Structure 1
Amino acid sequence: MRTEALLFGVVALFFAGVAALYGWWSEEPAGTAVLVIAFLMAAVVSFFSAVQYRRKGRRPQDRGDAEVADGAGPLEFFPPDSRWPVVTALGFAVAATGVVYGLWLFLIGCAVLARGVLGLVFQYVDREG
């Protein structure tokens, strides 16, 4: 996951730089908003990949000396139930509504959305295996 974290981190930095330059030169808010959203999406994937790498270390696919049998066994843990997808969806809905009704509602939605995403990422942080 380290390679993925670095790759998406570079993509996020690229979109951040392009968004800053585009926003400054064009003074056009729609394109700037799209580039900022692209930056945030790449940053979330990079953050998730970095956390997974830190928790689990290198995968067999990342090692040159790994055998096929090293990748055998259970693929991943899938949680039976979670409230965080609902919180994330609610945060996104409130943030999208905030685009229409005002900055205050958008910021509340972003806070709820951030809490939902962090809840998804760190839900089973203490789980072994």
Structure 2
Amino acid sequence: MRTEALLFGGVALFFGGSAALYGIWSGEPAGTAALVVACGMGALVSFFCLIQYRRKGARPQDRTGAEVADAAGPLDFFPPESTWPVITALGFAVGALGVVYGLWLFLIGLGVLARGVAGMAFQYVHRGE
């Protein structure tokens, strides 16, 4: 993950520099904001990859002398089925309708969306116990 962290760090630096130059030369706030958001997204992915590299160390794909058999074994846990993505999508849809029809519907959608996201995040929290 170190290579990916460096790659996305470079992307973040590129968009950060582009945002600074574009903001100074053009004075247009919308394009500057878009470039700042792109810089933030690149920095977020770079930070995630760097943290994963520090937690788990180098992968077999990162070593030049690694064999194919070094990457053998289970990759990760993949859940068989879940209803939480449907609940999350429903909450998002109700929240989007709430933007059109009123704050009360938006708050209901926000609550359903929060419950769906929390359900997905904590569905298998006790799996290893």
TM-score by length of structure 2 reads: 0.61
Residue aligning to 1:20: 20
Which one-letter code corresponds to 1:2 in the other structure? R
1:23 aligned counterpart, secondary structure? helix
Cα gap change, 1:65/1:2 in structure 2, threshold over 3 Å: closer, same or farther?
same
Structure 1 residues 48 and 78 mapped into 2: Cα distance closer, same or farther (>3 Å)? farther
Give a deviation string over 1:75-100, Cα, whole Å, max 9, x none. 1245798x9xx7xx98xx8xxx8xxx
Provide the residue aligned with 1:66 in structure 2. Answer: 66
**In structure 2, C-alpha distance between the alignment counterparts of 1:62 and 1:12, rounded to whole Å:** 22
Instruction: Quote the Cα distance in structure 1 between the aligned partners of 2:19 and 2:37.
Output: 9
The residue aligned with 2:47 is: 47
Matched with 2:9 is 9
2:36 paired residue number: 36
1:31-77 Cα deviation digits (max 9, x unpaired): 10110111011011101100100001110011111111110111124
Shift of 1:14: 1.0
For 2:10 and 2:25, the matched residues in 1 are separated by: 22
* C-alpha distance in 2 between matches for 1:42 and 1:77: 27
User: Gapped runs of 5+ residues in structure 1?
Assistant: 98-115, 121-129
Amino acid at match of 1:75: L
4+ residue runs over 4 A deviation: 78-81
The TM-score with structure 1 as length reference comes to 0.61
Q: Distance in 2 between matches of 1:4 and 1:14?
A: 15
Shift of 1:6: 0.6
The count of residues paired between Structure 1 and Structure 2 equals 102
Mapping for residues 70-89 of structure 1, pairs under 5 Å: 70-78=70-78
Q: Secondary structure at the match of 1:9?
A: helix
Identity of aligned residues (%): 69
| Deviations, residues 2-53 of structure 1 (Å, cap 9, x unaligned) | 0000110011011111101101110001110110111011011101100100
Distance 1:79 1:19 in 2: 40
What is the aligned partner in structure 1 of residue 105 from structure 2? none
